[in-house]
Amino acid sequence: MSFFRNAVWFMKGLKEYTKGGYASASKDFKASDLDVDVSGRSYMITGANSGIGKCAAVAIAKKGGTVHMVCRDPKRGEEARQAVKEESQNQDVQLHILDMSKPRDVARFAQNFISSGKPLNVLINNAGCMVNTRTVNSEDGLERNFSTNTLGVHMLTTALIPLLSKQEKSRVVTVTSGGMLVQKLNGSDLQFEKMNPFDGTMAYAQNKRQQVVMTEQYAKKYPDIHFSCMHPGWADTPAVQNSMPDFYEKMKTRLRTPEEGADTVVWLAVSDSVPSLDSGLFYQDRQSVSKHLPLAWTKSTADEETTFMQKLDNIAQQFLVESPDS
């Protein structure tokens, strides 16, 4: 079955995820959807120092939005902030330093941001990683892909729900991946202890399937906020170059630009038409698309999804901090 899934997915990718797929899909885009002024609205973007996150930051800043760039590396983050300010001619671009793989830091960051009194209209969960050797964080015992891509996203999103709920038409956009189509939700091995041999690409795809399920569950639990997730296609970003060098070498002439990869992120974050769409959907090139390949048997049951979310909550509870400055 995995061979079938992978083969069908790759053929789909060649048609839809490349720059040719974007060129075809973009013929149906409405230019007016992005012809908006978002002055007075506040956007938080994780992993905003390069690739899709940085492109989204530039696009939103150009439209007048206040941009909170959340980055792991102070030097690269500040360089990116200056570049975003210069390109957008928007001075209201702020930098926050956070490693999404460290759950205590995520909890502390969210509490401090709320305590700062700053508003938040849109959260864009873009930061992610694909670690190809199973790596466990020494300070908390968590596998790195899971702690960054799944737990970190869950903790940041749920912690900021009270702040987002104060704003009308608030949104959460999660950058996931079409790679999740080859995976069925596996809530019994969150740390990939049973994956032998360990496969970073499949671990990443599982995390991305988890993000899709999380988005669905958030939409049900928090109806006043619009949740969506999206696949940027195969884009030429530093993350792809570094984490998937073989794939990059074979496909680099067919990859989308980072701006093309970020297009649907920006559309979901700023377009006036988005709040009228159903919450919890999976998007590709400004269209909601299926979360499963035909005959791939990747659908999970309601009980499996509920159990998965309960496990996430239980793990997250261990790392909550008592006060903003603790």
How many Å apart are CA 76 and CA 44, to the nearest integer?
17
Query: Which single residue is written with the structure tokens 């399920």?
Result: 213
Give the dihedral of Cα atoms 322, 144, 60, 172; nearest 10 deg.
Answer: -60
**Helix/strand/coil for 91:** coil
CA distance 245 to 236: 11
- Give yes or no: 17 in active site: no
CA separation for the pair 320, 326 (Å, rounded) = 10
Q: Which of 204, 218, 222, 283 is catalytic?
A: 204
C-alpha closest to that of 14 among 255, 239, 263: 255
**What letter represents residue 135's amino acid?**
T
Q: What element of type H or E holds 295?
A: none
Q: Give the pair of three-digit tokens for residue 131.
A: 């670690």
Q: Rounded CA gap, 266 and 271, in Å?
A: 8
* Inter-residue contact 299 to 290 (CB < 8 Å): no
* Active site residue ranges: 204
